[in-house]
Structure 1
Amino acid sequence: MKKYYYILFILCLNLSLMAQKGSEKKANSLFEKRSYVKAAEMYEQLGESRNVLQNLGDCYYNNTQMKEAVRAYGKLFLTYKKDTLNPEYYFKYAHSLLGMADYDKADQIMGEYLKFPVSTTKFINNLKTNVPFNYTVQTMSKNTSNGDFGMSFYGDKVAFASLRTADSKSFGWNEKPYLDLFSAEVNAKGLLTNIEPFPKEINTKTHESNVTFSQDGHIMYFNRTNDKKVKIGKEKIANIKIYKAEFVDGKWTNIKALPFCSDLYSTEHPVLTKDGKKLYFSSDMPGTLGSFDIFVVDVNEDGTYGEPINLGNAVNTIHREQFPEISNDGSTLYFASDGHQGMGGLDIFMSKSLNGGPFAKPLNLGETINSNMDDFSYVVDEKRNLGYFSSNRKVGDALYSFTRTENQERYVVEGEVKDKNTQNLLPGTLVSLYDENNILIGQMVVGVGGDYVFATEPNKKYRIEAMKDFYIPHSEEFTTNEDGKLRYTIELFMECYDDAEEIITKRQDGKVQIVLENIYFDLNKWDIKSDAERILNVLVDLLKKYPEMDIEIGAHTDSRATDTYNIMLSNKRAASTLEYLVKNGIKRKRLRSKGFGETVPLVRCGNNCTEQEHSINRRCEFIILK
């Protein structure tokens, strides 16, 4: 009887496992089709395998359900070793945590992703005094669940995309209606009125969104999603194209996709310059740095188009840059990004172009307009300093109007940190600002752009200092003047130790080593002899020259004794060397000592070493820790 029950138990268990595998396969199929809502429902009923937790987190992340995404990614990071996870999950987990305003945890995860420390709180505080404008924001509809976004100016009206067509077919990504384009007026209270859909020539059974118009209103460019999916890799995707339409005899006609669009990638968020000669847009076409980049294309007088040009790595990152907007004179680009440092999700940035040159490093527009969720699709009437943007900071996408006023506190020192010899930017550098009494008044860790910004005051002396592991600290002094709007730009050029000193070298394993003559000890001894003192005095002088340098003293033996004895002997020799440095004025906290015994030989000769090979393996090494 017991045997019978055991067989029955095994049979039921196998059937359960088979059912779970079948369910996971179906959930994976929905996930690949980007039916994230239905896929998440199925994944929630399954176990906590790596695939389930990754895809479940992505389902919620892709629909900006950050609380649920944090729960799924949190289990993933708790259950599986971090070093086995794809870096993209660090990025998405960090942004999910930012969406929950959990800055401490988000900074920890983002720091592990970027390989240098991050402080969102310091970043936000620094922005308060360097953004050019402060914003007063209000919603444009009492109902924020309409899924409105992507505002543009349309003569005396506005145009935007919305889910308001409630009877349309639902979209598998989020189980909501397909998007259509609408026009509206804005009343004195900043609310949308007289809302009307665009005609059926424009609005079809698929998505339409993100419209831009020529100055006379007779040409429009807009987004439309393909009605058929194309298999790209393992996924079937309906990509997005930019269409052009012409207003002829009171009707939108000649509706065609632009020639540089494709079924194999998306072209999104078109915006036409005031003179109609250039079209900016976002795309994941070949030639991007990562996800979506911002491009520009010439619009020729004969109606043809030039080759799309990527705006480059000052603007674009390996993540998302979308929803461009260009000022009337073409000198200022506004766009949304989650690749530049921000507060969570997409943030709105601005970038300046001087004299028609390339766009400079972008500036986050600050917390009076950006939130810890997605903020995007910024448009502005620069003469009246009012405009619109979109955000999902509450329940779903919604339109917001804003007025902007000049930031009266904007008086700053800014610049970049670069390697003195290579001119490469140095993200992760700690930059500190001191007043004339050497009191620290500001500090930040620079991001991937290597740039820093600090608030200052008129007619004061300051010192700015940059510090980074394996680099010589660098500082400069400056004095501000009476003009509160003047921007000081100081570039901090830092030199790494191995460029500055001949006796310092970077090894093939990436460690930075101080190369000295070998230090010899008597047989079975660890006391410092006079010859060793002469050599160690060189090290003492170097450590006094660079007071921020920390080192590890590693002692190694030959292989002519037992493993245990050699470890003990090498530990004593390393400790003895450390004590000599301390006795000669080096702070103990800057030093580490470790005995390696015979475990890391330079010459792997085993039990057949010559006297010369033994002497090579019997050594002290000095590795720079920071």
Structure 2
Amino acid sequence: MMKNCFLCFIFMALLTVGCTSLPQKGKSQFSAGEYQTAIGTFSKILADNPDDADANYYVAESYRLSNRIEKALPYYDKLLEEEGSFENYFKKAKSLHDQGDYEAAAEAYRQAKEFTNSDSLLALADLGAENISKIKEITDYWPYHELQNYELLNSSGIDYAPIVSENFLYFTSSRRASGAYPATGQGYTKLFRARADGIKVDVQNVQALPEFRNEEGLNQGAIAISPDGNTIIYARGNSTSKNDLPDVSLFISYFRGTGFTDPIWMPVNEEESYWNSTPAFSTDGSVLYFASNRPGGYGGIDLYKATKLANGDFGNAENLGPQINTPGNEMFPRPMGDQFFFASDGHPGFGKLDLFVAETKDGKKTITNLGKNINSVGDDFGIFFTDFPKEGFLTSNRDGGVGDDDIYYFQDNTPKPKVVNVFLNVTTLQKTPEGTETTLPSTRVALYDSTKKATGGDFSNQQGKLRFRLEPNAEFTMIASKNGYFTKSIPYSTVGKTPKQEELIQDVTNITLDTTIVLDKLELEKSIVLENIYYDLDKADIRPDAAVELDKLVKILMDNPEIKIELSSHTDARSSDEYNKDLSQRRAESAVNYIVSQGISRDRLVAKGYGEEQLIIENAQTEEEHQTNRRTEFKVIEIEEK
């Protein structure tokens, strides 16, 4: 009997020790960053006691710290049932946001503010709520870019951070893993490559990185290759060995003669305890961009840049500043000339990491979310362009993928604009002495665009017909010429004469337009009346309405630089001969002075006042007849030989 009691006591003691050691075991795992293992340990405690505060806290934090905060929500709710706090409401808001429940997330941010008086914490909650309010303002940066999961390339595990160098796609993957990373339960990642032509990848021949050996028992990933292909930088860390580096660091390998060197730790890491990852080169290779959690930043993980030094190292790391970096996380930089792409969960976005572009517009730097056709509620990051900005790759763990993080490719599928052909039928005519118009064959018509560049030219046929093909919504000038006729330039516009793109139905639409060009015979000493040239009574000043008519003569002179003209003024017979002669001379000279002011050489102009010497209607009686006599004419008095 005593023996049985003793055995029972021993069993109870062991049970008690086991129960008390389970939380300690889980905390040790948590402290070591073995979050997935810690989740398994604390889940055993929660199976017996769902309200255990410590277990709920450590499971929630394990999910958050292993980038699965969306799974932490029920555990934060359990904690909040016991006691409200800013920290738990704030993290609950993040979890709700990362699941796309924006209204509930905004409410959780509001509730968090009730549990603090700290200005900095209140500002964090306000920023979170403000970012949510801006989600509805996000538009697609590239409206016609379409994203597709590269199913044949992805594995059932992790595949991320693709880049292309010298016709090879390099990427990070947990395929062929020899062990599981205890923080996530996924396999350790290695570096791989496959031949690629743009976004077309030889998925049948994926090989482990040949430049140097992948290591076992740690994560290797987020590779960057210099533009000249001679330098490789990648992130390495999370080793199972206690003798290895405590965190993720950047390592570099150089091409030397026949191969790449063994990777070495980079001084730009600064401290072994800092997390440094997601490297990218500038387009000329002179600057290294990367993400780091080193002190002095603006949030959890910030983006930095380091310049290439004379010895080939990268140094003088500089934070990219508060316009790009936020109290959240910024990672996976991708500089592209004047544009800078990166991933962030601190700028207004749909959930976890979203892709953004920083660029300067009108002298001001702007940060723009790439939109819902690129980003999702999940993590979207690691963009790389194979044909900027039309196609490339990125990484996402959105719903519907093959594994965890998957590689996606994108293409610009902007619809090809429907074609509008504009055909202009031109008819060349001449004026007859009777004032009618008849066909003028064999007339040269030259076509010029708005930059005065010749875009066509031909002679009209025997019916005075010719045809041009014009661009829609454009301005043109046609110049018609023929020996013995005044050359004439005519503006022509197709603006507003074709349907809008959205109104087009067929892929090709032909529009036919018609116009005529009428030329006047060029004859010496033949008087041509300028209509509507009026002067105030007893004055010779050029009125605005007269200037409009004289501008037509200016154009004739410009189109026909070989002619010299006499510009004559005539009066009626209602004043003395001497007065009318003087008045008409002054009026003719005023007209000549105006034409000279418009750029015509005075040498080509002769002013002549005839007074009442050349009346058209003798003994005029009515005001209309007197007006017919009061006229301004011009005639060609000389044609210079070409």
Q: TM-score range by the shorter chain?
A: 0.5 to 0.7
Q: Distance in 2 between matches of 1:192 and 1:60?
A: 36
* Comparing 379-388 and 109-118, the one that deviates more: 109-118
Bigger Rg over Cα: 2
Map of 1:223 onto structure 2: 235
Q: Distance in 2 between matches of 1:223 and 1:340?
A: 25
**Structure 2 letter corresponding to 1:201:** F
Aligned residue for 1:345, secondary structure, equals coil
Map of 2:145 onto structure 1: 135
Instruction: Provide, for residues 147-200 of structure 1, a one-character-per-residue CA deviation record: whole Å limited to 9, x for no partner.
Output: 11011121222111000123x222211222221111113479855522111137
Residue-pair matches, total: 387
Change (3 A) 1:399 1:91: farther
1:269 matched to 2:278? The reply is yes
Aligned residue for 1:128, secondary structure, equals coil
Aligned residue for 2:28, secondary structure, equals helix
Q: Distance in 2 between matches of 1:338 and 1:373?
A: 10
Map of 2:340 onto structure 1: 333
1:244 matched to 2:252? The reply is yes
Q: Distance in 2 between matches of 1:41 and 1:228?
A: 19
Aligned residue for 1:263, secondary structure, equals coil
* Comparing 180-189 and 148-157, the one that deviates more: 180-189
Q: Distance in 2 between matches of 1:243 and 1:271?
A: 13
Change (3 A) 1:67 1:281: closer
Map of 2:369 onto structure 1: 364
> Is contact 1:346–1:374 with CA below 8 Å preserved after alignment?
yes
> Is contact 2:212–2:262 with CA below 8 Å preserved after alignment?
no
Q: Distance in 2 between matches of 1:192 and 1:310?
A: 38
1:309: how far off? 0.3
Map of 2:300 onto structure 1: 291
Q: Distance in 2 between matches of 1:111 and 1:14?
A: 48
Change (3 A) 1:119 1:219: closer
Q: Distance in 2 between matches of 1:227 and 1:26?
A: 20
> Is contact 2:279–2:289 with CA below 8 Å preserved after alignment?
yes
1:399: how far off? 0.4
Q: Distance in 2 between matches of 1:146 and 1:81?
A: 37
1:216: how far off? 2.1
Change (3 A) 1:111 1:369: farther
Map of 2:192 onto structure 1: 182
Change (3 A) 1:67 1:282: closer
Map of 2:329 onto structure 1: 320
1:229: how far off? 6.6
Q: Distance in 2 between matches of 1:252 and 1:191?
A: 24
> Is contact 1:315–1:361 with CA below 8 Å preserved after alignment?
no
> Is contact 1:230–1:264 with CA below 8 Å preserved after alignment?
no
Map of 1:388 onto structure 2: 393
Q: Distance in 2 between matches of 1:215 and 1:79?
A: 56
1:135: how far off? 2.7
> Is contact 2:238–2:246 with CA below 8 Å preserved after alignment?
yes
1:325: how far off? 0.8
1:95 matched to 2:102? The reply is no
Map of 1:511 onto structure 2: none
> Is contact 2:131–2:347 with CA below 8 Å preserved after alignment?
no
Map of 1:169 onto structure 2: 179
Instruction: Provide, for residues 210-264 of structure 1, a one-character-per-residue CA deviation record: whole Å limited to 9, x for no partner.
Output: 1111222121111111647779xxxx98311111212234421153221122311
Q: Distance in 2 between matches of 1:385 and 1:354?
A: 21
Q: Distance in 2 between matches of 1:115 and 1:215?
A: 42
Q: Distance in 1 between matches of 2:84 and 2:388?
A: 54
Map of 2:383 onto structure 1: 378
**Structure 1 letter corresponding to 2:176:** T
Q: Distance in 2 between matches of 1:237 and 1:181?
A: 19
**Structure 1 regions of 5+ residues with no counterpart?**
1-8, 409-626
Taking structure 2 as the reference length, the TM-score comes to 0.55
Change (3 A) 1:401 1:91: farther
1:353: how far off? 4.6
**Structure 2 letter corresponding to 1:319:** G
**Structure 2 letter corresponding to 1:298:** T
Aligned residue for 2:146, secondary structure, equals strand
Q: Distance in 2 between matches of 1:351 and 1:176?
A: 33
1:119: how far off? 7.3
Aligned residue for 2:284, secondary structure, equals coil
Instruction: Provide, for residues 421-465 of structure 1, a one-character-per-residue CA deviation record: whole Å limited to 9, x for no partner.
Output: xxxxxxxxxxxxxxxxxxxxxxxxxxxxxxxxxxxxxxxxxxxxx
Change (3 A) 1:354 1:220: farther
Q: Distance in 2 between matches of 1:216 and 1:189?
A: 20
> Is contact 1:124–1:366 with CA below 8 Å preserved after alignment?
no
Aligned residue for 1:170, secondary structure, equals coil
Instruction: Provide, for residues 112-151 of structure 1, a one-character-per-residue CA deviation record: whole Å limited to 9, x for no partner.
Output: 454448377763331126x355530001124552311011
Map of 2:85 onto structure 1: 82
Map of 1:400 onto structure 2: 408
**Structure 2 letter corresponding to 1:306:** G
1:306: how far off? 3.0
Instruction: Provide, for residues 530-553 of structure 1, a one-character-per-residue CA deviation record: whole Å limited to 9, x for no partner.
Output: xxxxxxxxxxxxxxxxxxxxxxxx
Change (3 A) 1:153 1:51: same
Aligned residue for 2:263, secondary structure, equals strand
Change (3 A) 1:80 1:404: farther
Q: Distance in 2 between matches of 1:257 and 1:336?
A: 25
Q: Distance in 1 between matches of 2:167 and 2:97?
A: 38
Map of 1:214 onto structure 2: 226
Change (3 A) 1:75 1:134: farther
Instruction: Provide, for residues 67-100 of structure 1, a one-character-per-residue CA deviation record: whole Å limited to 9, x for no partner.
Output: 64222122122232235xxx3x444322322333
Identity value in percent: 25
**Structure 2 letter corresponding to 1:335:** F
Change (3 A) 1:152 1:76: same
Q: Distance in 2 between matches of 1:287 and 1:90?
A: 26
1:42 matched to 2:41? The reply is yes
Map of 1:348 onto structure 2: 355
> Is contact 1:120–1:342 with CA below 8 Å preserved after alignment?
yes
> Is contact 1:132–1:406 with CA below 8 Å preserved after alignment?
no
Q: Distance in 1 between matches of 2:359 and 2:43?
A: 46
Change (3 A) 1:67 1:351: closer
> Is contact 1:240–1:266 with CA below 8 Å preserved after alignment?
yes
> Is contact 2:330–2:346 with CA below 8 Å preserved after alignment?
yes
1:404: how far off? 3.7
> Is contact 2:384–2:392 with CA below 8 Å preserved after alignment?
yes
Map of 2:319 onto structure 1: 310
Change (3 A) 1:354 1:258: farther
Aligned residue for 2:176, secondary structure, equals coil
Change (3 A) 1:251 1:304: closer
Taking structure 1 as the reference length, the TM-score comes to 0.56
1:279: how far off? 0.5
Map of 2:626 onto structure 1: none
1:16: how far off? 6.5
Change (3 A) 1:259 1:406: farther
Q: Distance in 1 between matches of 2:263 and 2:321?
A: 31
**Structure 1 letter corresponding to 2:212:** E
Q: Distance in 2 between matches of 1:133 and 1:238?
A: 44
